Chain A
């Protein structure tokens, strides 16, 4: 019964991943990792004796420990990678925010220059008038 449940979980996970990629809600590069996870679920569901076999070879007395430990390790690595990616994204966001402020300051300066030159153009040229009068 347990193997059927695990197999179904694998199938559901794989279907969800395909659906998320299809709806552009998950990048293909992230989907690759999850497809592997779904595949592992499927293998565990269809052939649960694989874990028993590997555990026996490694000298682990209680085989489910191997599956659970591997799961925890994979999840920890995944979370760590996510935090690394998040740090990169935060830095990129900070750089963009700074760049936006820099460009806004430049735009402000440009607008100020333009309004000064426009004012200068619209004002009568007093020198020209005085020169004309002479």
Chain B
């Protein structure tokens, strides 16, 4: 279990988390949401907030029956819009950290504590669960292009398996973050520009149990996503290049 610090300018806000929550954005995930919630409940006792992104199936009913608190969106806002609704709700409820994860079963809740650890120790504001091995050829090329455009060194830019502390929650709950459409380049650039610390750690991911990626499904969406993210990456690119702080790799706890 290793952690790589992406940027290290200001110290992360104080650690010692007391009440993390789990936020799961979901769109048409009735097949998997019950199992995902059960797995999370088995792995930790944190409250689970499922944000239903105007699904056309029974996602919200299944999630509610499974014991999650459901935030039903009346309009489809996309994965980031749904996630932000969950972050705003968690902040309003007084949580000091949030772990976001996908509703399709790709993310293993067994790694939730691993994501929260650097936040708990005050070493980072955000921890990204990365697993570059999951990338198809197209996804790998997309990551490379986005990294080149944005100047970011984060390996798995599109991972939705992340932990945010209170400082990051405040940053991402604001109006500025609502202008963003996707959770990758724009959100990470906003965090980095605001002086937040970001770490990533390897968290093996499983194959999607049902459905498909909301981005990498048709060429039209992929082209739109790439142009959108490349433009965003270029416009948000810092004048000074981010230099990863290699020596600050955390040692695994015994």
Contacts and interface: CB of A to CB of B under 8 A. Distances in A.
B164 interface: no
Contacts, number: 49
Contacts of A102: 71, 85, 88-89, 92
B82 to A, nearest CB: 9
Contact of B77 (A97, A104, A109): A97
Interface string B74-116: 1101000100110011001000000000000000000000000
Interface in B32-85: 49, 51, 69-75, 77, 81, 84-85
Interface stretch (A1-9, A20-28, A87-95): A87-95
A101 B179 contact: no
A101 B178 contact: no
B69 A98 contact: no
A104 B72 CA distance: 7
Given A101-B51, A102-B88, A93 B71 contact: no
A82 interface: no
A105 interface: yes
Interface in A67-115: 87, 91, 93-95, 97-102, 104-105, 108-109
Given A102-B85, A105-B49, A105-B69, A97 B74 contact: yes
Contacts of A99: 88
Contacts of A97: 73-75, 77, 81, 85
B32 to A, nearest CB: 21
Nearest to A98: B85
Given A91-B179, A95-B175, A101 B69 contact: no
Contacts of B75: 93, 97
Q: What range describes how many residues of B lie at the interface?
A: 10 to 19
B89 A100 contact: no
B236 to A, nearest CB: 16
A97 B49 CA distance: 16
Contacts of B175: 91, 95
A98 B89 CA distance: 9
A43 to B, nearest CB: 39
Nearest to B76: A97
A94 B49 contact: no
Contacts of B89: 101-102, 105
Nearest to A95: B178
A98 B84 contact: yes
Interface string B107-133: 000000000000000000000000000
A101 B50 CA distance: 11
A100 B75 CA distance: 10
A32 to B, nearest CB: 27
Given A94-B77, A102-B89, A105-B70, 5 more contacts: A97-B75, A101-B51, A105-B69, A108-B69, A109-B69
7 contacts: A87-B179, A91-B178, A95-B175, A97-B74, A101-B51, A104-B71, A105-B70
Interface of A: 87, 91, 93-95, 97-102, 104-105, 108-109
